[in-house]
A and B are shown apart, each in its own frame.
Chain A
Amino acid sequence: MFKEAEIRTFIEGTTNYFETSAQQSATVGSPYLVTDGKPGAYEYTGVIGITGARKGIVYFTAPRGMLTVLLMRMQETDTSDENIKDLVGEVANTISGNARRDFGKNFNISVPVIIAHDLEKVKTPYARSFVIPINWRTHSAKLVVCLE
């Protein structure tokens, strides 16, 4: 069973990412539980596989507009599709990796798998997921945490 404190770890990781990388705060909405195995996705998704003490996936999903502005905030001038995919994976990787501060070394994270332009391919291994809505500037994104 996922605990409230564990959700807080991912919320803090998300807000810290935007504050530090973009130097502009993101607003995190109230996390909600999805039980039908369809937490939803935007145009670009970075999926991190979790093994060890916990099993499942964590993914960060966002529209191109948000990722383009985020790249520009990071002083990156190359906003090609390759860099957009790289960024969505790096955000997912960073938030998941930071979670080891609380979850410990046995919270093993994979390299990111990127899914772009095909929302149907974004699948969760379990029916229950926590969705953390993220609002940054005028854009919306999600962090989805699906752990057994």
Chain B
Amino acid sequence: MDSAVVRKATLKLMIVDDSNIIRRRIERSQQIARLEVVGAASNGRAAVEMFRRTQPDVVTMDLTMPEMDGIECVSELVAINSDVLILVVSALADKATAVEAIEKGANGFLCKPFTDRQLNDALEELLSEA
């Protein structure tokens, strides 16, 4: 992973989840000073369009969504910019799904439900390990 993303002073964050509550929760709860939310999308297709327009450095990605699911969306985003850091945030708790997401290009996996602390720890880990 190119660390150019991590060296930036401010990182742009895009939130992808079909639940408005979860999108708002992630925006409200994330406390990483360097992260600035630039957009939120409710399905994979909308996320790809927003990704091209806003060019985020970091993405939180749900998996079970209408129109285009998260696994396919991860592949599309990585094809556009392989430096993007993607944290999958999903209820799908089996190991095979996490492995598949990582193989498609995601960098981390946080299982729903999550606490604010777990979210921030996962985001910190994502940035530190990139």
Let me know if A100 and B22 touch, CB within 8 A.
no
Which residue of A71, A99, A100 is within 8 Å of B21 (Cβ)? A71
If over half of B's interface residues share one DSSP class (helix, strand or loop), that class is named, otherwise mixed; here it is loop
Which B78-121 residues have a C-beta within 8 angstroms of A?
A: 90-94, 96-97, 111-115
Taking the complex as formed, is A35 at the interface, i.e. its CB lies under 8 A from any CB of chain B?
no
Taking the complex as formed, is A125 at the interface, i.e. its CB lies under 8 A from any CB of chain B?
no
Let me know if B65 and A105 touch, CB within 8 A.
no
Knowing that A94-B91, A94-B112 touch, tell me 4 more A-B residue pairs with CB under 8 angstroms.
A76-B21, A83-B21, A90-B21, A97-B64
Taking the complex as formed, is A75 at the interface, i.e. its CB lies under 8 A from any CB of chain B?
yes
Which residue of B is nearest A22, CB measured?
Answer: B113
Q: Inter-chain contact count A-B, CB under 8 Å?
A: 67
Let me know if B96 and A20 touch, CB within 8 A.
no
Let me know if B64 and A93 touch, CB within 8 A.
yes
If over half of A's interface residues share one DSSP class (helix, strand or loop), that class is named, otherwise mixed; here it is helix
Let me know if A98 and B22 touch, CB within 8 A.
no
Let me know if B93 and A97 touch, CB within 8 A.
yes
Which B5-30 residues have a C-beta within 8 angstroms of A?
A: 18-22, 24-25, 28-29
Let me know if B25 and A76 touch, CB within 8 A.
yes
Which A93-117 residues have a C-beta within 8 angstroms of B?
A: 93-101, 103-105, 107, 109-111
Let me know if B113 and A21 touch, CB within 8 A.
yes
Taking the complex as formed, is A27 at the interface, i.e. its CB lies under 8 A from any CB of chain B?
no
In the assembled complex, the Cα of A89 lies from the Cα of B96 at a distance in Å of: 24
Taking the complex as formed, is A127 at the interface, i.e. its CB lies under 8 A from any CB of chain B?
no
- A74 proximity list for chain B (CB < 8 A): 21, 25
Taking the complex as formed, is A36 at the interface, i.e. its CB lies under 8 A from any CB of chain B?
no
Let me know if B21 and A97 touch, CB within 8 A.
no
Known contacts being A20-B114, A23-B115, A109-B64, is A101 close to B19, with CB within 8 Å?
A: no
- B94 proximity list for chain A (CB < 8 A): 100-101, 103-105, 107
Let me know if A83 and B91 touch, CB within 8 A.
no
- A96 proximity list for chain B (CB < 8 A): 91
Which residue of A is nearest B25, CB measured?
Answer: A74
Let me know if A16 and B21 touch, CB within 8 A.
no
Contact sample, A vs B, 7 pairs, CB 8 Å cutoff: A20-B113, A76-B24, A86-B20, A87-B21, A90-B21, A93-B91, A101-B93
Which B47-72 residues have a C-beta within 8 angstroms of A?
A: 64-66
- B18 proximity list for chain A (CB < 8 A): 111
